[in-house]
Amino acid sequence: MKNKYALGLGLGALGLVAAACGSSSSSSSSSGGSTGVNWSTVTSAQQGGGMTALIAAAKKEGHLNVIALPPGWANYGELISTFEKKYGITINSQNPNGSSAEELAALQSEKGTSKEPDVVDVGPSFALLGAQKGLFASYKVQAWNQIPTNAKDPSGKWFFDYGGYISIGYNATAFASNPPTSFASLLQSQYRGAVALNGNPTSAGAAFGAVYAAALANGGSFSNIQPGLNYFKQLAQAGNYVPVQSSPAVIESGQIKVNIDWDYLNSAYAQAVKGKVNWKVFVPASAKYASYYAQAISANAPDPAAARLWEEFLYSAQGQNLWLKGFARPILLPAMQAAGTVNSAYLSLLPPVSGNPTFPTTAQLSQAQQLVAQQWPTISG
């Protein structure tokens, strides 16, 4: 598991935008050419002379420093190799299993050196923290207007990239006659000793998201996570919840038969155990809780043009589809569906979801975190 996604509980807080630094948007007017452009201060490709100028400058730099990008997570391995082949730029990948906290620490400890990360991919709470500390540069990719307003910092300090919804994955063979259809259905006696989470809600974003989703399914709201805690107390008292860390191995062994987790992880599990376990995944219609992550460019990037080209690549249809291939829902998915540029084969591997995601505010999230921290120990035993 990629460490940085288990650190903060604020992984679904697209509403953090409301509490962002509030700096005004930088000018994005064209510089009128590519010569003498200071790419470290350029806030859009247009301002630097256009994509042709950006590509030329990035190729001249010749390399890009990334951090905390495991090749197997969200298809980052293919994203990196595709970028390298497309532009002839070498990517230096540091600490692939690092955390969001370690990414921000690297921006500070390596500041001013050739080893400093050019870009980061962090959880939303760390995106806000990095912006507050002045660690990020302002930049707006060409697809900026297609990124939802509540999924980006107004000045371009950070912008959300990919994520997913809390889902229920289950062994369809074990429950062939009466498969689960909702959170409520998991309270039935047939699920005794069968239901797991991806970690502990007090420290793991996926498990915390499961509690929030359960709250939404049981009359709660982003301002009231208590019904979710009550639900898991019922699930534990019924003997249905088991504190086993979810993974393809425990699914294949039959140790767990139901897993409440991000849809991109449950979908990846389905592919990993294909031919051994018939693993089905769905997003409960009454419990749509989403989480997305953020891209940001270092304010002191040693390769500022390559950093900006990397972001343009990630937010192109090609880059977004490669995330989708890795079972992660790209932030531009609705726009791509409307434009007909989404890879339908990749999308078909994820459970269908209708409508657009909504998110808790920072205040709502903070309150929810406090309640979970207080009550979960008594629920899990």
CA dist 91 and 303 (Å) reads: 11
Strand pairing class (258-262; 159-171):
antiparallel
Output the pTM of the full model: 0.81
CA dist 140 and 128 (Å) reads: 17
CA dist 5 and 121 (Å) reads: 10
Cross-strand pairs, 171: 279
CB 4 within 8 A of CB 103: yes
Closest CA to 138 of 33, 259, 43: 43
Structure tokens at 167: 């889902």
Cross-strand pairs, 137: 297
What is the torsional sign of CA 124, 127, 132, 138? negative
Domains identified in the chain and CATH numbers = 3-163+291-347 (3.40.190.10), 165-288+358-380 (3.40.190.10)
Confidence of residue 35 (pLDDT cuts 50, 70, 90): low
Cross-strand pairs, 295: 121, 159
Confidence of residue 2 (pLDDT cuts 50, 70, 90): low
How far, in Å, are 20, 70, 235, 254, 309 from residue 250 at the CA level?
40, 22, 20, 6, 40
pLDDT tens profile 79-109: 999 999 999 999 999 999 898 889 999 999 9
